[in-house]
Structure 1
Amino acid sequence: MTTPLLIEAVVAVPMVFLGVWFGVYIFDHIPERIFQWLVLVLLAVNAFVLLFTAVPDL
């Protein structure tokens, strides 16, 4: 295990738990159908961000 990897893990693990907590909180406060659309939209945004950062010529 390298130091940069350890730093990434220390930053990423709390963010994962924060994301899970936020998702559960939102799920409890909005209708299920809207939550499903919100998840689909955020996944699509994530896919485009990953695509455009992975392929520099796009």
Structure 2
Amino acid sequence: MNEEELSNVIELITSDYGVEDADECDHGYYAYVDGGYLPDVYQSRGSALQAIYETLTQ
């Protein structure tokens, strides 16, 4: 799925999610869902959204 499709599917499950630019020292993106951040730093917005989707569908 592309980023837009992932966002749409995630939005059907929860509205409490997002992707933020990482700090300068981390280079990448942070992902959060349902009030908590996922433990990894992602190289792209798409990979962060994919991780959110996988977390929600486990």
What TM-score range do you get, normalising by the shorter chain? 0.3 to 0.5
The structure richer in strand per residue is: 2
What is the TM-score with the length of structure 1 in the denominator? Answer: 0.32
What is the TM-score with the length of structure 2 in the denominator? Answer: 0.32
Larger Rg: 1
Q: Which has the higher contact order (CA 8 A, sep 6+)?
A: 2
